[in-house]
Structure 1
Amino acid sequence: MSYLTPDRTKPITARKLGDYFDRAAVLETLTINAQNAVRAAETPAPKEEHPRSIRERLQRNKATINTPKQDTSQREAVQRMVDREAKRAEGKGTGYDRWAAVHNLKQMAATMSIYEESGFSSPEELEAALATASAELSSVHAKLKAVESALREKKDLQKQLLAYIKTKPARDGLKAQKTEKARKNYREQHESDFMIAEAATRYFKAQGISKIPASKALQAEIEQLMREKNTLYNEYREKRERTKELQTVKSNIGQILRREPERGKGRDNER
């Protein structure tokens, strides 16, 4: 017994390949594979009951939802279904209507996929989840705005502080002047520096700052606020996308349910 593999031009004998490739071993393996195939064909596949309508599918018990979770980051965003009747009333043509029909089928499938992956067993649960998501979005948005406001204030303070620090040589020079005339002349020579210093002093007073903060400490506060802002923004973006997704799913579910009675009438007429 010999074998001819695709990468060879001459056959190779089973004796050179080893005991597992002689005639008896090969025939035994083929027999076992054939028996396994027969048993597999005779075993009936388990029947899965599917809801007869979209409404029944939406009302399924959570225990029957076995759809494996998908990586939502790789999932395309679901879009709103098109109201074809309204578009036809607006004068949209046949070509658009055909596109809308295909679009709606795709979005219906995407909607049901998200609905089941989220573990909803009724439209009411979807409504509750949307309310929760909206509340969480508002909460994170408020926190983000507060941090952004604090960050702006700290940066304004830093701007005034750095400007004030730069005027230190001029302020020290004024103190070194011995006479009033010398001080007057000195102020005139460094007028811009003293204008900046006085503006910064007014700012500190208006903000209720009696002790000027250290520059390094202020920079550390700004960096901490920036980290908080980035974290909150990422959280806000995720919750915004989730809320938008649930809003779209809710809208599509509503449109699907409105169309369900029409489908039922069509089936009854066919019968």
Structure 2
Amino acid sequence: MATTRLIPMHVIKGQTVAHTVHERLSYAINPEKTNSGQLVKAYGCEPETAAGEMLLCKKEYETYIGRSEEKKSDIVLYQIRQSFKPGEISPEKAQEIGFDLAMSFTKGKYQFVVATHTDHSHIHNHIIFNSTSNDHTQKFRNFLGSSDAIRKISDKLCLENGLSIIEAPKQGPSHYGKWLGDKKPLSWQEKLRQTIDAVMAQKPVDFDAFLKLMAENGYKVKQGQHLAFNANGQQKFTRLRSLGEGYSEDELRSAILGKTVHTPKAKVPNRKNPGKINLLVDIQAKLQAGKGPGYERWAKVFNLKQMAQTINFLTENNITDYETLVEKTKAVTDRYHELSQQIKDLEKRMAEITELKKHIINYAKTKDVFAAYRQSGYSTKYYESNTENILLHQSAKQGFDSISSSKIPSMRDLQDEFNTCLDSKKFILKDYVKQKNLMKESLTVQSNVDHLFSQKTEGQAHKQR
């Protein structure tokens, strides 16, 4: 499970662009937070020199657009914060997923650094990418729906790595370590129920002791025809009879005397999509954990609905036996992972093409400068006055040396290959989304059938006894 948030980073008030870039990256790659720097990975730059390389890219952009410096209001960096559920993932796997997220979202067009922090209970990534593109011809524009796009990519990666996801997260400025989901502020009634549950767990000797413990927990008591409580900050008193089954004065008195057992009210899950197949509830296990009769009634109805949807799925897919279900589930899962790998391979090649195009552009722009540098006998004075262009030329040359073919492809051929990869990715994505949904349904159905068989087996064994 992971939450994500996109944060535009402006120039720090009263500081320069250079100071801002160094400051933001220094915080991210802090050795004390990243296991002595072992959990830092970069693309398009080196972690140790990322700030300088990003600033160099910005300098090239200024030359390209003919402007001497960025406005103080400009966004110089963007940060993606990706936080994982405590105990669900290792730092190394979080780093891998964070890198894949950054590469997929930026499409290899922007330098970025992924720093995985382990200084909190929740492992989290600080993904910082340059607002200026690698080829220094454009800046990233924060588009409508960018946060949603990041979340979808993160969810895809979590599913591929066997992690849970939040199905309906809320967007907002809340701290990134909080798991938002569909949580709402507790009502005064729910707060009162929880306090009563906590007090009853202390087993007060009599009802007066119960009222004393409620007062110690910040509640005022109003006794009369209807017993009521009022918390700090609450305008009106809440009557016990409004709390539902198990919370009336008579029921609480009975539980205190030991005649009955007080059972906290079960929270009924909010199912926003009734047409979706969900996992069956293990009613017996929940009841043993202290759930009350209200939960049992809801769970039985819920299970009946889910079994009806499970049977519909089996009928629609012409599945008549368990072996066929297992085979089809395996087939659709294998197909999903196959398509996922194809998309990864295409994205990797697109990133390579983008990098090679950058080298070609830089090589052509700096060719004459480097030739003059060579003719000067590699003069130190000439190097100092043309450092940026010489470094760009050398970097481009190293990029050419790394390709397997001795012939450097033309920009047109590279662009044609890039477009072909992009079209292939779009085509595969349609089937990928379909297979992902089918895989989730198939796995849920198989789990429901397994649960049903398990219940039958236990029931038969009980009868034999």
TM-score (norm. length: structure 1)? 0.60
- Does residue 402 of structure 2 align to residue 206 of structure 1? yes
- Does residue 435 of structure 2 align to residue 239 of structure 1? yes
- Does residue 392 of structure 2 align to residue 196 of structure 1? yes
**Equivalent position of 1:252 in the other structure:** 448
- Does residue 136 of structure 2 align to residue 136 of structure 1? no
In structure 2, relative to structure 1, the CA distance for the partners of 1:129 and 1:167 (3 Å cut) is same
Q: What CA distance in whole angstroms lies between the structure 2 residues aligned with 1:106 and 1:159? A: 57
**Equivalent position of 1:116 in the other structure:** 315
Instruction: Give the residue type in structure 2 aligned to 1:202.
Output: Q
5 Å matches for 1:1-271?
A: 76-168=275-367, 170-171=369-370, 174=372, 180=376, 186-260=382-456
Q: What CA distance in whole angstroms lies between the structure 1 residues aligned with 2:460 and 2:396? A: 75
Q: What CA distance in whole angstroms lies between the structure 2 residues aligned with 1:209 and 1:183? A: 33
Instruction: Give the residue type in structure 1 aligned to 2:423.
Output: R
Q: What CA distance in whole angstroms lies between the structure 2 residues aligned with 1:156 and 1:238? A: 32
Deviations 1:209-242 (A, max 9, x none): 5333222221221121112122223322211211
Q: What CA distance in whole angstroms lies between the structure 2 residues aligned with 1:196 and 1:182? A: 16
Q: What CA distance in whole angstroms lies between the structure 2 residues aligned with 1:135 and 1:109? A: 27
Shift of the alpha carbon at 1:144? 2.1
Q: How many pairs does the alignment contain?
A: 190
Shift of the alpha carbon at 1:80? 0.6
Determine what percentage of the aligned residue pairs are the same residue.
Answer: 28
Shift of the alpha carbon at 1:132? 1.5
Instruction: Give the residue type in structure 1 aligned to 2:451.
Output: Q
Shift of the alpha carbon at 1:193? 0.5
Shift of the alpha carbon at 1:252? 1.1
Consecutive unaligned residues in structure 2, runs of 5 or more: 1-272
Shift of the alpha carbon at 1:198? 0.8
In structure 2, relative to structure 1, the CA distance for the partners of 1:226 and 1:136 (3 Å cut) is same
Shift of the alpha carbon at 1:117? 0.6
Instruction: Give the residue type in structure 2 aligned to 1:208.
Output: S
Shift of the alpha carbon at 1:122? 1.4
Aligned partners of 2:376 and 2:382 also within 8 Å: no
Q: What CA distance in whole angstroms lies between the structure 1 residues aligned with 2:380 and 2:457? A: 91
Shift of the alpha carbon at 1:257? 3.3
Consecutive unaligned residues in structure 1, runs of 5 or more: 1-73, 266-271
TM-score (norm. length: structure 2)? 0.37
In structure 2, relative to structure 1, the CA distance for the partners of 1:205 and 1:183 (3 Å cut) is same
Deviations 1:100-139 (A, max 9, x none): 2221111111101111011112122111211221222232
In structure 2, relative to structure 1, the CA distance for the partners of 1:181 and 1:245 (3 Å cut) is closer
Partner secondary structure for residue 76 of structure 1 = coil
Instruction: Give the residue type in structure 2 aligned to 1:103.
Output: F
**Equivalent position of 1:57 in the other structure:** none
Deviations 1:131-160 (A, max 9, x none): 221222232222222222222222221222
Please state which structure has a larger fraction of its residues in helix. 1
Q: What CA distance in whole angstroms lies between the structure 1 residues aligned with 2:450 and 2:419? A: 46
Instruction: Give the residue type in structure 1 aligned to 2:290.
Output: G
Instruction: Give the residue type in structure 1 aligned to 2:283.
Output: R
In structure 2, relative to structure 1, the CA distance for the partners of 1:182 and 1:227 (3 Å cut) is closer
Shift of the alpha carbon at 1:245? 0.8
Instruction: Give the residue type in structure 1 aligned to 2:402.
Output: A
Partner secondary structure for residue 167 of structure 1 = helix
In structure 2, relative to structure 1, the CA distance for the partners of 1:203 and 1:261 (3 Å cut) is closer
